[in-house]
């Protein structure tokens, strides 16, 4: 089951990384990394000791991901458009 859900969580993770990594301060990135590690450890314990709760949380995470995915894609498209505009200023884009 994990392998079928892995792409969904990779997209969510890529979107959240895309939003947090442009921030130059190291403190925010360190705190975000520590929180992600804590969440992973807690998730493992929940999966081992309360599998029904883990299943419920998985379904909730899928719903939240489905709701946030359009927003993440929109932000990434805008960011790519800004970068493209920066590098193709005054020239036709080379597609």
Q: Does residue 77 have a pLDDT over 80?
A: yes
Q: Tabulate helix, strand, coil % of the chain (nearest 5).
A: 85, 0, 15
Q: What are 20-57's pLDDT values in tens digits? A: 666 667 777 777 778 888 988 998 899 999 999 999 99
Give the model's confidence band at 9: pLDDT under 50 very low, under 70 low, under 90 confident, else very high. Answer: low
- Per domain, the residue ranges of the chain are 2-85
Q: Residue 54 in contact with residue 43, Cβ under 8 Å?
A: yes
For residue 53, the model assigns a pLDDT of 94
Q: Does residue 85 have a pLDDT over 60?
A: yes
Beta-strand runs (E) in the chain: none
Q: Does residue 10 have a pLDDT over 80?
A: no
Residues 6+ apart with CB under 8 A from 47: 54
Please state, in angstroms and as integers, the Cα–Cα distance from residue 7 to each residue in 10, 11, 85, following that order.
Answer: 5, 6, 30
User: What is the rounded average pLDDT of the residues 7-21?
Assistant: 64
């Amino acid at each position: 089951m994990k392998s079928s859900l892995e792409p969904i969580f990779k997209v969510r993770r890529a979107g959240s990384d895309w939003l947090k990594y442009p921030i130059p301060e190291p403190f925010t990135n360190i705190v975000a990394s520590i929180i992600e590690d804590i969440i992973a450890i807690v998730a493992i314990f929940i999966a081992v000791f309360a599998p029904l709760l883990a299943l419920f949380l998985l379904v909730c995470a899928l719903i939240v991901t489905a709701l946030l995915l359009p927003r993440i894609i929109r932000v990434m498209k805008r960011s790519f458009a800004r970068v493209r505009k920066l590098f193709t200023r005054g020239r036709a884009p080379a597609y």
